[in-house]
Amino acid sequence: MSRVYNFSAGPAVLPEDVLKEAAAEMLDYRGTGMSVMEMSHRSKAYDTIIKEAESDLRDLLHIPDNYKVLFLQGGASQQFAMVPMNLMKNKVADYILTGQWAKKAYQEGSIYGKANAIASSADKTFSYIPDCSDLPVSEDADYVYICENNTIYGTKYWTLPDTKGKLLVADQSSCFLSEPVDVTKYGLIFAGAQKNVGPAGTVIVIVREDLVTEDVLPGTPTMLRYKTHADAESLYNTPPTYGIYMCGKVFKWLKARGGLAAMKEYNEKKAEILYDFLDASQLFKGTVVKKDRSLMNVPFVTGDEELDALFVKESKAAGFENLKGHRTVGGMRASIYNAMPAEGVEKLVEFMADFEKKHRK
Ligand code: PMP
């Protein structure tokens, strides 16, 4: 068996120890004689799995008691609709457009009410985060929405926007659990699991208790109400049982590694290896304004499309997978989530340096 260095933006690399543990438990989960995949979500064994997952997540993020943790389905994209359906009481919300995922959320929001784009970085291909210190926040806005880490463009908010007292809603899909977060600054955080925490199909929502009410937009289906899932502790219907089990294992892995502060330090170290190389390179160039660079997704180009394609081809042959940039932007992108070892980034940089020697004009 040989594993590649997988730089995919998601579904993405998971910790090898977690995968090995899951493999060992595949046929007989701790004496139950069955796989977690085959287990009733109402069983005692599963109840322990989901409760421990929630409690470990609460420990990692220091989630206060007045926030609910929900394990849902439908991916992060489902939240683009659930957020307005549940929170748009005045039918007004402000969105900051920093890339495709924010734009999709904004478009979805405008189905349900007045969605305002109050800032955008579209003018420079989303290569920076707009100044959010004095935003034209709408007086009657129900929330201000951000995509905190932009998976495709590789930007990250290092300072949260001043929402002028309005609720902050954040899509943290591609930076979830990569660093400590002050949950109290948000009304709602959501994250698709398939980048930093587990298999696709699970989405995690952390929402302030007072926002979970029956006062939702008319016609909101039962399954799309936060209250349905909060009341049933994420067991209203059959949840994505195996996905939650895997997320739970990743939470334990993170705790064993020293939690989110330690993770952030490690992620900074990894990203620095790559950014330092890019800054010194005569061939490769990072595409993001330095102060807004993501620690998770690192897009870069050579400036020559043919050379980019050659790099992707040769890197793949050398065991570095999924370095091709998003289909809408081209170039390259290295996603270096929590589970990507520093060694993977070091090897990538060595490979890039060799490629540069051969191809610098
Ligand atoms: N938000 C962000 C920041 C993402 O990166 C993605 C997926 N790459 C999504 C939302 C959509 O997630 P899903 O495919 O789970 O709906």
Closest CA to 177 of 264, 294, 256, 52: 264
Residue 195 annotated as catalytic: yes
Stated pTM of the model: 0.98
Regarding the beta carbon of 76 and ligand 1, being less than 6 Å apart is answered yes
Segment 162-177, tens digit of pLDDT:
999 999 999 999 999 9
E strands, 121-260, are 144-147, 149-150, 155-156, 168-171, 188-192, 203-208
Segment 314-359, tens digit of pLDDT:
999 999 999 999 887 889 999 999 999 999 999 999 999 999 999 9
CA distance 233 to 183: 20
Report the separation in Å between the CA atom of 28 and the middle of ligand 1, taken as the mean of its atom positions.
33
Which architecture characterizes domain 15-254 according to CATH? 3-Layer(aba) Sandwich (3.40)
CATH number for domain 257-357, candidates 3.40.980.10, 2.60.120.260, 3.30.565.10, 3.90.1150.10: 3.90.1150.10
CA distance 15 to 19: 7
Segment 220-273, tens digit of pLDDT:
999 999 999 999 999 999 999 999 999 999 999 999 999 999 999 999 999 999
Regarding the beta carbon of 173 and ligand 1, being less than 6 Å apart is answered yes
Question: What average pLDDT does this structure show over 68-92?
Answer: 98
The best mutation among 8, 77, 149 to test binding of ligand 1, ranked by most ligand atoms within 8 Å of the C-beta, falls on 77
Residue 320 contacts residue 351 (beta carbons within 8 Å): yes
Domain ranges of the chain: 15-254, 257-357
Closest CA to 268 of 142, 137, 178: 178
- Per the DSSP assignment, residues forming a β-bridge with 5 are 320
